[in-house]
Structure 1
């Protein structure tokens, strides 16, 4: 006689956290991150009304990467130069949102850490420049402005936003 052991559900192998613990975790996560779509909406809203978006967007990549493409209006400050230039270029009273290439790069995280260690309030833009472009937002290069159609795997094809 053969006995079979019950299959372990890989999703529930480690049970979900208690609701209060989960709420604390996700609340903390939102304090550290902003997504590309929210950053784009805040910047567009500020441009449309002539208001300040309430944060500075910081591109932490190299000059070569910046020239290849960056978010319009972003401040360029490579991570390696934060220690010597952040206090001169940024106001500690204004939150900073950092970005780098994309989800496969932790450059924005390193930049956010360097800024936080110097007393700046900071968030990281999830998805980085890659998802900025993939979601169809305008960008600038050393040759001028650019924009691609939104990738339907990262942004809704027939709606202004994803509704989340």
Structure 2
């Protein structure tokens, strides 16, 4: 009798290769963002899509704040069309990052999600910036 894991047969190696390769085209992680910052190899714009209030309290160093609802053709016109955006929100419990990615892609921009968001960044033990970088944003909506 198959176990819980093998009850549904795994994908073929070729299917797995395609699947995980595609995921890497859409995602990056906190560690890779941090490492690229340390090395000065920043070929993307890191965007915090939470509210201005949440961003001002604490955010990932090097990020800019463009709340999801502010991602419009007019707002994004300052960026060249070939800009790669890496977007993040509060964490894996929030789909605001996906709404932001949809808006950016709809405007013709390249976009990746920093999986884990702010929660993932903190889980990695990485520092934040802001008016109170050690504060949690409990009670403050990400409003994304």
Question: TM > 0.5 between the two?
Answer: yes
Shift of residue 146, structure 1, vs aligned partner = 4.9
Per the alignment, in what secondary structure is the counterpart of residue 71 of structure 2?
A: helix
CA contact (8 A) 1:36 1:126 kept: yes
Deviation at 1:25, TM superposition (A): 0.4
What is the deviation of 1:12? Answer: 1.4
* RMSD after superposition: 1.8
**In the alignment, is residue 29 of structure 1 matched against residue 29 of structure 2?**
no
Q: CA deviation at 1:83?
A: 1.6
Is the Cα contact below 8 Å between 1:36 and 1:131 reproduced in 2? yes
What is the distance in 1 between the residues matched to 2:42 and 2:109?
A: 17
Structure 2 counterpart SS, 1:72:
coil
Q: 2:55 aligns with which of 50, 62, 66?
A: 66
Superposition deviation, residue 118 in structure 1: 0.5
Could you list the runs of 5+ residues in structure 1 that have no partner in the other structure?
A: 1-5, 47-51, 148-164
TM-score (norm 2): 0.86
**Does residue 19 of the first structure (1) align with residue 19 of the second (2)?**
no
Task: Compute the displacement of 1:126 (Å).
Answer: 0.5
Residue in 1 aligned with 2:128? 139
Which deviates further from its counterpart, 83-92 or 32-41? 83-92
Task: Give the unaligned 5+ runs of structure 2.
Answer: 136-144
The structure showing larger relative contact order (alpha-carbon pairs under 8 Å, at least 6 residues apart) is: 2
Q: Is this contact kept in 2: 1:86–1:115, CA < 8 A? A: no
Shift in CA distance, 86/33, structure 1 to aligned 2, threshold 3 Å: farther
The alpha-carbon deviation at position 84 of structure 1 amounts to 4.8
Separation of aligned partners in 1, 2:75 and 2:5: 43
1:45 lines up with 2:45 in the alignment? no
Cα distance, 1:88 vs structure 2 = 3.0
Match of 1:91 in 2: 80
Question: Does 2:96 correspond to 1:103?
Answer: no
The DSSP-based 3-state class of the residue aligned with 2:129 is strand
Aligned length: 135
